[in-house]
Chains A and B, each alone.
Chain A
């Protein structure tokens, strides 16, 4: 059985705020039966002060799912909507004295339920995108359908790209085999359809998972959104850089661009990325360009997301590919 903390056990066996809140005006329902967990968060928010007066939950799920749900209600009660939105799934896990890595998705579910409930309160729509196919990445609850879509929509051909776009594989990486299988499968289909150059298609076994594992785990990277150049340009000696997407390869000629050209290219790249960010209820805008440093502002669901740094490195990778020279992406705050 899992090594649950005492706090998790306490909140599982005697959950606080369980049940239905009839007068709720902010309701978020997330999760899927196929994933084995689902959460309905009900909050009563003061329409004038935006203070969350009451919160209750109903959860279908394992011990940590129930405990995370209960912890979430405890965390949000008394906070304003704005304060509550600053909570991350890590806060839920911390509140519970930690969760086993395989169970971190339970805290993500709590985080998502809160986003959904707030969206509901504000009259916005919130879409859950984890409902297709087998679950591949357990750390972030990414299923096969999501990986397939991302690979197709963005012509992804490397595991790093898949991780940057979907988060899958960004944690423990035990899903490497499965992830690699989906990438190779979709690439093969794309080649057959004539939309992908066979030379660029991902080949099974062409990447050593150990080389990928050296990346920082999202947990450790969470509070540090500034990504250093070292992270995006891993020294690859064990295997050749994947064909086509090696912007940082010293052999790639670096065309001299004017600042204006550069900005246009960057804006174009961000535009291309936007649908993916929007799919996760996030967004990104260009703030400034200073030499090889690009300042962007993440908004929406990207704010406070523990995966923000992965998103940033994805953007960075994308921009670097577009411009053809290494660049550094720095997220800036509201001001």
Chain B
């Protein structure tokens, strides 16, 4: 049976066309792009072409606004550390409580070491940003605002463009971690107030170990990696040519698949969600149903623990992920769900299904077929679910 892979927000399968595009850069075209000889120059040309492909996906004005990195984490680190250095006299960072650890940990570290004061803006129960708190935090002390474009766990989208405009008004730099958004929603950076944007290759069918940071022309940038002239001196180190070529190809394919993502993939997601809601009692959708990535579905199941659900799903050949603590080993439920104030009983039982353009109808059918049985089995085991012969406990989901 075909395995059902619905964990595309964790990582995606590398597209065969991407593999094909990158392979020659391991073998025939192995040169160093910086070399003057023919081995290097053809690789240099391929890197340049890839840069244009990424530029096109982001709707950026210039190709040199793209800096290739090792991935989303490096891009985020680089953007935050650079901004703090580039804005002397300003030592405040504004971010949110629901950022990816690649942003949150950096901010916490800067705070702990006394290099910055950080405002963590909260969200409501749908994961929507507290705009009032955001406005209140803006001041001429703010060096950087860093907000994610779309949330990795719930798919909730922040209105980054208007938020960036607000940051501009106080002269702050604006960075967005768009790792989950790039390739899933249309992005046009030209003419926007967004100064920096992070993306990661392996979330859009390119391999792991490649990503990019967009830095708008004219935005002050302080390199964090020294030791060479590569990427115009902004990120030293010999270019990861196969990875860069792969990212370029993946960007091109993502652009072509954007319509599919917005229609067919979204329909799959919606059908799964409706199917679950219909067949499984005591569950609700986490996140902003109206402003959300088309591929992400996060459902909270009351009275059961996520890892237990995932183990059963795994046995049924279905891959998903959980906001539950136990899967990560952290033992605390997801910081995102906690920031949204999702009750503990439900936060521990939250499961994320994330689709990609490779998902098909059969995937949805399979989940809908096995999930109700799994929930029923685990709930009869749960002390919080009234005995099997009684009616389920009275339960009114606050967030439905």
Contacts and interface: CB of A to CB of B under 8 A. Distances in A.
A85 to B, nearest CB: 23
Contacts of B333: 36
B282 interface: no
B383 A62 contact: no
B381 interface: yes
B324 A62 contact: yes
Contacts of A63: 307-308, 311, 326
A310 interface: no
A60 B311 contact: no
A28 to B, nearest CB: 11
B17 interface: no
Contacts of B324: 36, 62
Contacts of A105: 331
A60 B314 contact: no
A58 B330 CA distance: 23
Contacts of A34: 344
Interface residues of B, number: 30
A117 to B, nearest CB: 13
A59 B348 contact: no
A18 B384 CA distance: 14
Given A18-B381, A60-B384, A62-B305, A135 B344 contact: no
Given A39-B383, A60-B305, A138 B326 contact: no
Contacts of A138: 329-331
Given A1-B310, A61-B308, A36 B326 contact: yes
Contacts of B332: 36, 134-135
B325 A36 contact: yes
Contacts of B344: 33-34, 36
B304 interface: yes
Contacts of A36: 305, 324-326, 331-333, 344, 348
A73 to B, nearest CB: 12
Contact of B383 (A1, A38, A135): A38
A38 B327 CA distance: 16
B326 A59 contact: no
Contacts of B308: 12, 61-63, 65-66
A9 B311 CA distance: 9
Contacts of A12: 308, 311
B329 A102 contact: yes
A40 interface: yes
Interface in A1-58: 1, 9, 12-13, 15, 18-20, 29, 33-40, 58
A9 B312 CA distance: 10
B330 to A, nearest CB: 8
Contacts of A60: 303-305, 345, 348, 381-384
B331 A18 contact: no
Interface string B336-367: 00000000110010000000000000000000
A40 B381 CA distance: 10
A104 to B, nearest CB: 12
A134 B332 CA distance: 7
A68 B333 CA distance: 21
A102 B306 CA distance: 16
Contacts of B306: 62
B380 interface: yes
A1 B309 CA distance: 12
B23 interface: no
Contact of A58 (B307, B325, B329, B383): B383
A39 B382 CA distance: 8
A68 to B, nearest CB: 12
Contacts of A1: 310-311, 314, 327
B170 interface: no
A39 B324 CA distance: 17
B388 interface: yes
Contacts of B384: 33, 38, 60
Contacts of A135: 331-332
Contacts of B303: 60
Contacts of B380: 18-19
A13 B383 contact: no
A281 B347 CA distance: 31
A58 B377 CA distance: 12
Interface in B240-273: none
A20 B388 CA distance: 9
B326 A19 contact: no
B387 interface: yes
B315 interface: yes
Contacts of B307: 62-63
Nearest to B349: A60
B298 to A, nearest CB: 17
Nearest to A134: B332
B387 A20 contact: yes
Interface of A: 1, 9, 12-13, 15, 18-20, 29, 33-40, 58-63, 65-66, 102-103, 105, 134-135, 138
30 contacts: A1-B311, A1-B327, A9-B311, A12-B311, A13-B311, A13-B315, A15-B381, A18-B381, A19-B388, A29-B383, A33-B345, A36-B331, A37-B326, A38-B383, A38-B384, A39-B383, A40-B383, A58-B382, A58-B383, A60-B304, A60-B305, A60-B345, A60-B384, A62-B307, A62-B324, A63-B308, A65-B308, A66-B308, A102-B331, A134-B332
Given A13-B311, A33-B384, A102-B329, 4 more contacts: A1-B327, A36-B331, A59-B383, A65-B308
